[in-house]
Amino acid sequence: MVELILGLDEAGKGPVMGPMALAGCLIEKEDEILFRRLGVKDSKLVTPGRRGFLEAEIKKIAKAFEIIVCETAEIDKAVKDGSKLTKLEADKFAEIINRINDGKEKMKVIIDCPSIGIESWTNLLKPKIKNLSNLDFVIEHKADRNYLSVGAASILAKSERERRMDLLKEKYGGEIGSGYCTDPLTMRFVEKFALKYKNDDLFRKSWSTWEEACEKLTQIELGV
């Protein structure tokens, strides 16, 4: 019997700019051999050039894959509603599972858990899944490093987010950097343009990084 494995992961949970991408990658167990030979691993451990090659190969080998992109407005709404990102991620991962799983074949679902509390997050996820009877779950921290299917999903998610960031760079310039608060280029951009682009779908306005930059710029404008 063919063993099916569905790996799921996200990219772009923490940045102050740009979207978050979530991906699912369905493979047969025997495809892990191909992934291992290709060097599929957690996207954070893969160079951008190699990531593009691996993304194309993963899409060729996978039985199915799905990618969902959450723009900044949707992320902000989730945070402001008080559910933070954990519920949003549960919603989107469930949506990916529902798209791929027809309920007919046994499938192992492996997820890189986005929450500190694995059990509580699992309880958020499962009620949103239409067909559970054929699924076995493995929900762990660092699953993207421990399971090839999750590593593949992380590459798909990261690649999609980077494409979206490239579009933003075409519009706002390369000075936006990676979008992460640890990026000095990004931080200089936020500190300079937080107010100018406050009505655009660029910044995550529920992030304290953006709020603090707006406060400082307002003080400068008022001469405080």
pLDDT bin (cut points 50, 70, 90) of residue 223 is low
Contact of 20 with 69, CB cutoff 8 Å: yes
d(C-alpha 136, C-alpha 31), whole Å: 19
C-alpha to C-alpha distances, 147 to 76, 129, 160, nearest whole angstrom? 31, 22, 20
Nearest in space to 151 (alpha carbons), one of 121, 111, 179, 98: 111
d(C-alpha 26, C-alpha 153), whole Å: 9
Contact of 203 with 17, CB cutoff 8 Å: yes
Q: What are phi and psi of 134, to 5 degrees?
A: -100, 5
Topology annotation, domain 4-168? Nucleotidyltransferase; domain 5 (3.30.420)
Contact of 70 with 20, CB cutoff 8 Å: yes
Whole-prediction pTM = 0.95
d(C-alpha 42, C-alpha 29), whole Å: 18
Q: How many residues comprise the chain? A: 224
Topology annotation, domain 172-217? Arc Repressor Mutant, subunit A (1.10.10)
pLDDT bin (cut points 50, 70, 90) of residue 80 is confident
What mean pLDDT, rounded, does the chain reach?
95
**pLDDT tens column, 54-71:** 999 999 999 999 999 999
Given a cut of 80, is residue 183 above it in pLDDT? Answer: yes
pLDDT bin (cut points 50, 70, 90) of residue 84 is confident
**Domain definitions of the chain by residue range:** 4-168, 172-217
